[in-house]
Amino acid sequence: MDRILVLLHTDADGVLSKTALEVLSAANALGGEFVVGLCGRDVQAAADSIAGCGASRLLAVSGDTFGESRYATDAAAAEALCRAAGAGLILAPASVRWARALPGVAHRLAGVIDTHVTSISMEDGAPRVGRWYYRQRIEAALTRTKRPWIVVLESGCAPAWQGEAGRVVLESVEVANAATRTRVLGVHSPKANEQTIRPDAALLFVAGAGWTKKQADGQPHVDVAGELILGFLRNSAASLGSSKSLVDLSGEGQAVLPFLTHMNQVGQTGSTPRHPKGLATCCHGEEPHVVGWRFINDRRAVNLDANCGWARGKADVVYVADAFAVMARVNEILKTRSAAT
């Protein structure tokens, strides 16, 4: 049985993310001894919040240098924690920080790494992980004998750990060389009322290129489409995704749905978001797009074409209807309900 290190970092506000707590649960489920390694500006509060997690040791790299998300310092911190723990199996959440830094750490440790892991279990005394290849089109299970083995777990692999908080004593770990020529200047976020990507939303709403096409009167109604989509996002707190074709139209300088960027793109060359439900509108459900829906459990679509890709086993329900009319009515109902409450 490998010694396990659960490698976590605090967020900007000093707390552990939900995905970090899920990795703690995953480590607990594997059984055996595990160590927690924490990285951040000040990690004491985060450590105290997981006092009852069952870790045999809690190691920490902290300080202003490690409060920022940056390859050189994150890799140095993670390397130091891994060496201090001496673990054969290292579990980490799929955050931007670790996704950027841990591959380099695997190289420094002469180890191996698997990212975007969606499941982990013990089979015949050895860890086995599941992940996808070719943009979620092929599923694989694999194991490794080389150590250390860094496994970066996607969100949703395990329930978030819940347990007693308390006061823990951290073992501080020195970082040998965290020199960097990079300064973090800040974060550019959309304004709150312009926020369209909401990773924790219960619903993914996907807009397809059909929103920009000519409607029954022979004219496109892009401005109406924009109002309907943004209105729905406001009323439902859904996250907005898009098909590649619609985002590409924006990139080509056409006056279409200006709030869409490549970051909204779902599918083969876009993201693979995780939401319990997904609603596709004016989108044909072609394979390159639908591979991005791999982790959307409950899927519905509104489309004028009863033979679209969604109807061929890719969605649970397809409504053959005009999305303009449907979403206008959906918005009215949601707005009325919101006003009533």
Partner 1 sequence: MPQFQIVVCGSIVPDPLQTLEPVTGPAGPSLKNELMLPAVLDPWAGHALYEAANLARNHPGSKVYLVSAAPKAKLQQVMMTVGQKAPFELVAIDASASGFTEAADVAALLAGAIAAIPGLDRSRLLVFGGWESASRGAGVTMQMVGERLGIAEQFLAVDQLTVGEDGTLEVLERIEGGSHQISSCQGAPAVFGWATGNLPEPRNNPQVGMQNMRAIMPALQKAKPASTGVPSFVSVSLPKQQRETRVVKDLTPDEVAREIVAWIGEN
Q: Is residue 52 within the footprint of partner 1 (CB under 8 A)?
A: no
| 221 versus 294: smaller Cβ distance to partner 1 | 294
Residue from 9, 275, 284, 314 binding partner 1 (CB under 8 A): 314
CA distance 260 to 237: 16
Q: Is residue 119 within the footprint of partner 1 (CB under 8 A)?
A: no
Site string for partner 1, 251-290 (x = CB under 8 A): xx---------xxxx--xx-------x-x-------xx--
Binding positions for partner 1, 80-109, rule CB under 8 A: 95-96, 99-101, 103-104, 106-108
Q: Is residue 174 within the footprint of partner 1 (CB under 8 A)?
A: no
Distance of CA 164 to the CA centre of its chain: 26
Residue from 179, 192, 339, 340 binding partner 1 (CB under 8 A): 179
Q: Is residue 46 within the footprint of partner 1 (CB under 8 A)?
A: no
Q: Is residue 319 within the footprint of partner 1 (CB under 8 A)?
A: yes
CA distance 170 to 167: 10
Binding positions for partner 1, 195-214, rule CB under 8 A: 195-199, 202-203
For residue 341, what is the enclosing H or E element?
none
Q: Considering only CA atoms, which of 102, 201, 209 is closest in space to residue 148?
A: 102
Q: How far is the CB of 112 from partner 1 (least distance, A)?
A: 7
For residue 166, what is the enclosing H or E element?
none
Binding positions for partner 1, 54-73, rule CB under 8 A: 69-72
Contact yes or no for 199/236 (Cβ under 8 A): no
Which residues lie below 8 Å from residue 193, measured CB to CB, with a gap of 6+? 234
Residue from 134, 162, 172, 254 binding partner 1 (CB under 8 A): 134
Q: Is residue 121 within the footprint of partner 1 (CB under 8 A)?
A: no
Which residues lie below 8 Å from residue 62, measured CB to CB, with a gap of 6+? 38, 39, 40, 41, 42, 43, 44, 172
Q: How far is the CB of 84 from partner 1 (least distance, A)?
A: 20
Residue from 56, 162, 182, 338 binding partner 1 (CB under 8 A): 182
Which residue in the block uniquely carries the two structure tokens 């659960």? 6
Angle in degrees, 0-180, between the axes of helices 323-340 and 222-236, rounded to the nearest 10: 40
Q: How far is the CB of 164 from partner 1 (least distance, A)?
A: 28
Longest dimension (CA), the chain: 70
